[in-house]
């Protein structure tokens, strides 16, 4: 083993460790069998726990159904007591949330809004927001949001989606009209976007730099020993 081999091994180690932090799917909510006010998670990655997506303090006058997880009872302005929420935790490590993709639907033809908050600052700030439903009855609008430096400190985070609507009887919330297609005509309206509420992130607790240094020193020691024998 020569110095070049040691260098290559060290670079490979660094790349493999940095790969641990690459963002990937953590969990998703597909809405294919939506019902009531709670939607279970699916495809949750090993080491993570994901709660159901749950409606709080709005109404279920119109039942959620296949591919539709929307509800009534929303106010015209953001009400911090009415929201959809879900919780993510990890058994052993802190983690970051980097991205979410989802689609929203409003049935009135009047614009609705959503606002995203998290438990990291006790829901004080708005991490992202959007408008949907203004282009016509049954329009499904896709969203792809980036969440930078959203890192847990206690291996746990809860998200809340606050929704507004033009009146209490208006249905607004999550929906999936795509059935696996990127473009689909539903009731005469072109639908586009994402099938599920998908959450992406990565584990942030990786080996300390000192661990890498110790390993590198060991490799160099082996290389030196072998060089002396030659």
Name the E strands within the chain. Answer: 24-29, 38-39, 48-50, 53-56, 68-71, 83-90, 95-106, 112-118, 128-132, 140-151, 156-164, 172-175, 183-186, 189-192, 197-203
pTM here is 0.77
Which of these, 81, 103, 59, 89, lies nearest to 195 by C-alpha position? 103
Distance CA 28, CA 45 (A): 10
Distance CA 105, CA 175 (A): 6
Domains of the chain, residue spans: 1-20+207-230, 24-205
3-state secondary structure of 211: helix
Distance CA 76, CA 122 (A): 23
pLDDT per residue as tens, the chain (230 positions): 455 554 444 444 443 444 445 679 999 998 888 889 999 999 999 999 999 999 999 987 767 888 889 999 999 999 999 999 999 999 999 999 999 999 999 887 789 999 999 999 999 999 999 999 877 667 788 899 999 879 999 999 999 999 999 999 899 999 887 644 455 555 555 555 556 899 999 998 654 454 444 555 555 565 556 555 55
> Average pLDDT, whole number, for the chain?
80
Exposure string of 21-53, with b = 16+ CB inside 10 Å and e = fewer, is eeeeebbbbbbeebeebebebeebeeebebeeb
pLDDT score recorded for residue 180: 47
pLDDT score recorded for residue 205: 66
Distance CA 119, CA 174 (A): 21
pLDDT score recorded for residue 162: 98
124 with 161: CB under 8 angstroms? no
Pairing of the two strands 112-118 and 83-90: unpaired
CATH of domain 24-205: 2.60.120
């Amino acid at each position: 083993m020569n110095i070049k081999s040691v260098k290559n091994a060290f670079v490979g180690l660094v790349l493999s460790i940095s790969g641990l932090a690459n963002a990937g799917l953590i969990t998703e909510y597909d809405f294919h069998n939506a019902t009531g006010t709670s939607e279970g998670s699916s495809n949750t990655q090993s080491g993570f726990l994901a709660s159901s997506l749950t409606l709080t303090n709005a109404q279920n006058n119109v039942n959620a159904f296949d591919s539709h997880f929307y509800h009534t009872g929303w106010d015209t302005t953001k009400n911090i007591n009415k929201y959809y929420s879900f919780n993510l935790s990890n058994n052993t490590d802190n983690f970051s949330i980097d991205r979410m993709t989802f689609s929203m639907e409003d049935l009135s033809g009047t614009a609705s809004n959503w606002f995203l908050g998290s438990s990291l600052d006790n829901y004080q700030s708005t991490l992202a927001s959007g408008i949907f439903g203004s282009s016509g009855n049954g329009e499904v609008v896709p969203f792809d949001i980036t969440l930078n430096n959203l890192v847990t400190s206690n291996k746990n985070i809860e998200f809340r989606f606050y929704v507004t609507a033009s009146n209490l009887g208006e249905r607004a919330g999550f929906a999936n009209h795509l059935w696996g297609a990127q473009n689909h005509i539903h009731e005469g309206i072109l639908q586009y976007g994402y099938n599920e509420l998908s959450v992406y992130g990565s584990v942030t607790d990786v080996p300390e730099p000192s661990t890498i240094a110790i390993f590198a020193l060991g490799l160099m020691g082996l290389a030196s020993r072998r060089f002396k024998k030659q």
